[in-house]
Amino acid sequence: MALWAFLAALVLVSATSVAQAASVKSVDVLRYTAPDGETYFALPLAAPTNSKSLQAVPARDVVILVDTSASQTGSHRVQSLAVLNDVLASLGKTDRVRLFAVDV
């Protein structure tokens, strides 16, 4: 759970359209505190459900930060890369991506 929350918090999406950014009504940020006291934050994202929103989606600029520190080995690294692959596979053909390895 904590790993997913952490990875979700690292995925940052910024819309290229000011009109789209202005249409955001509210944002819920989730907080999770692990048993070891470490606190993680996540920003849940969901695709629009109405068909008008799905038409002609403009290109997005996406910034992805992946924790590559020494503590992220074995199954943690495998899960992290699986999430990264899923995120990349979900992007549109015109989206632009910047991927950063971060040693937290």
pLDDT tens-digit profile of 74-97?
888 888 889 999 989 988 889 999
What is the pLDDT averaged over residues 64-70? 90
pTM of this structure: 0.47
Q: What percent of the chain has pLDDT over 70?
A: 64
The rounded distance, in Å, linking the Cα atoms of 88 and 45 is 15
pLDDT of residue 16: 37
Strands 96-102 and 11-15: unpaired
Q: Read off the tokens for 60.
A: 């997005």
pLDDT of residue 12: 39
Phi and psi at residue 50, to the nearest 5°: -90, 150
